[in-house]
Structure 1
């Protein structure tokens, strides 16, 4: 499996309104943390998530979270080459 591009090594903390969102899983989007279609032609697909009420969230930008789209601290375990 191809590895996603690491967009950043820390999460993006946002106050989001209720609604549907599409999180970028490939790391190629120019509109991080959201999908802009850059995954086309790859094995990656956006991850839809829905908030039932306004909420503060920490969205993963390293693309290695086991709880995507939310940050689980995986960025702290990445090698910093």
Structure 2
């Protein structure tokens, strides 16, 4: 069996080539891109939230959730490849959770929303959903 190699999106991928005369009964779905989608920016400010210690939370990483800053499952249809960040705080606390989705300390805000690439970026319009 030979292999076809192609360069797509700056990543090398390979596809096995079928030999003539071989029957294929079922084809599996293959996603060509291995790079997850970029999150959209639902807010350029953090969300102030009261967290309960010991409770499990799911922070939205894709930006499509209508329940910001928490996940509502929108990533399954709008940002396949991105998944919520699940976390359990140790104690009750008031915290600031990231709204721009580009924090270096997820799920907590680290001030990244003040950087030029976020300030100049368009906000995601939830009516497009």
Q: Which runs of 5+ in 1 are unaligned?
A: none
Q: Report the Cα offset of residue 26 of structure 1.
A: 0.2
Matches of 1:72 and 1:65, distance apart in 2: 6
TM-score by length of 2: 0.59
Matches of 1:44 and 1:24, distance apart in 2: 9
- Match runs of 1:47-62 below 5 Å: 47-62=85-100
Report which of the two has the higher share of helix: 2
Quote the residue 1:22 is aligned against: 58
Q: How many residues align?
A: 81
Quote the residue 1:34 is aligned against: 70
Matches of 1:48 and 1:22, distance apart in 2: 4
Q: Report the Cα offset of residue 79 of structure 1.
A: 3.9
Higher relative contact order (CA 8 A, sep 6+): 1
Equivalent in 80, 84, 95 of residue 46 of structure 1: 84
Quote the residue 2:42 is aligned against: 7
Provide runs of 4+ in structure 1 moved above 3 Å. none
